Structure 1
Amino acid sequence: MNIKMDKLEELLSLLKKKEEEKQKNTVLWVLAIVGAVAAVAGIAFAVYRFFAPDYLEDFEEDFDDDYDDYFEDEEK
């Protein structure tokens, strides 16, 4: 009778151990997928920033030209 209880406890501990490993494995897969999506998004953003034209730079140049003309007119 005692041997059967020991065997039963051993089987229960093995089942619990397997369940814990499954949970850990699931968490690792979720983190891996989230990391992969974040990496792809980061690369896509970097490529976008590299190829997108910088319209603000042109605006600043035009603004500086207008600003300089305004003060040149006042000095005259």
Structure 2
Amino acid sequence: MNKVEDFLAALQKKEEEKNKNTVLWILAIIGAVAAVAGIAYAVYRFFTPDYLEDFEEDFDDDFDDYFEDEDDEEE
């Protein structure tokens, strides 16, 4: 009877380890997918041009030209 109990205990321990390994694999896959997504987003942000920066530069140039024209008219 003692050998049967040992055998059942070993089977139960093996099932628990199998469940732990499954959870570990699932978490590893989720982490890998998140890492790849993060890298892809960083590369996208790095290579995407910043159109707002160009707009602000053009606006500043127009704004400065307007005030320079007013200063010339006053003199």
Would you say same fold, with TM above 0.5? yes
User: For the superposition of Structure 1 and Structure 2, which TM-score range results when normalised by the shorter chain?
Assistant: 0.7 to 0.9
Match of 2:26 in 1: 30
Task: Provide structure 2 residue ranges, at least 5 long, that are not aligned to the other structure.
Answer: none
Matched residues in 1 for 2:63 and 2:10: separation? Answer: 78
1:53 counterpart = 2:49: yes
User: CA deviation digits over 1:7-61, x for unaligned, max 9?
Assistant: 1211111111011101110011001101110111111111111211111111221
Count of residues in Structure 1 that have an aligned counterpart in Structure 2: 71
1:19 aligns with 2:15: yes
CA root-mean-square deviation = 1.8
**Percent of counterpart pairs with the same letter?**
76
Q: Structure 1: 5+ residue runs without aligned partners?
A: none
Q: 2:37 & 2:7 partners in 1: Cα distance?
A: 45
Q: Which runs of 4+ in 1 moved over 6 A?
A: none
